[in-house]
Amino acid sequence: MTPEDAITVTADRIAALLGAGVDPSTPLPGAEWTVGEAAAHLALAGKLMADIGAGEDRPYGDGTPGGLAAANRASLAAFPERDPVVLGTVIADQARVFVAGAAGRSPRESVLTPLGPMDVATLSSYLLTHLLGHGYDIAVALGRPHMVDRDVVPFTLPFMRLAMPRVVSAGAVGHDACYAVRTGRDRFAVTFADGVPAVTDAPPRRPDCTIAIDPVAFLLLALGRWTAVGAMARAKVVVWGRKPWLGPRFPGLFTAP
C-alpha cells in the first residue's frame, strides 16, 4: 500500500459508512458535533487539502488548535449540507482530487497548511490523519467497525512527528525529559528541554522513558480518542526506563491537532 492508496481507501471506507439511512443528527460520543457535521467538516477539509495540494493558497485559521477550531465552526456555519450520502461522495471524490493534484508536484515541495508549512508528502500524511480521526468518530457513533488499522497508521507518522512541536500543551511548561517511542516497526524520539520538544529519529541521549505502543493505539491516543489509562488497560502500551512514570504523562504534553 502507498500513502495515496491509504488516503483513497480510508475515504472510501468513510463514504461507505455514510450510506442511505444514516441519521445525520446522530451525536458523536464525547464531542459537540453530529455525524452530519463531522461528515460536512471532512468534505470541506478535503476540498481545502486538495486545493493546497494543487498549489493554491488557502489560509485557514491561525495555526493553533484554538484557531483551527474557530475556523471549523465558521466553515460549518457557512455550509448547510448534511446529507450523509452526498457528503460521503464528496469525501471520496476530494480524496482522489487531492491525490491527482499532489502527484504533479515534488513530494519535497513546501506548502502552507492550517498547521503551518510542510512538504507535499507530509501534507498527504496530514490528510490521512485527519480522515482517520474523524472517520473513527463517525464509525463509533454509528456502531460500525472503524477504519484505523495497522496498514494505514504508519503513513500518518510524518505528519504526527512534524505536528508534535506545534501542538504542545500547557502541561509541557518547564518539562525536561527524553522519550523513545516504538510503534510497530517505527522508532523515533521526543526530547523536551524546558518544555520545548524536538523530534528525532534516535534519542540524543539515554532515554528517561521508553514507550512501546501498538500503532492503532498510538494514533488514537495521539488524536485524543483514547486515554493513556485506556490504552494501558487494553494492554496496547508498555513503558520502561529510568523514569517509567513519565509514560502516562506523555500524551498530555500535547493538544490533539
Domains, the chain: 3-160 (1.20.120.450), 167-253 (3.30.1050.10)
Q: What is the mean pLDDT of residues 184-188?
A: 96
In this model, does residue 235 exceed pLDDT 80?
no
50-83 pLDDT, tens digit per residue, is: 999 998 888 888 877 788 889 999 999 999 999 9
The pTM score is 0.94
Cα dist from 172 to 134, 168, 175, whole Å? 26, 7, 5
Residues 155, 175 contacting (CB under 8 angstroms): no
Decide if pLDDT at 228 tops 90.
no
Cα(25)–Cα(43) distance, rounded to whole angstroms? 17
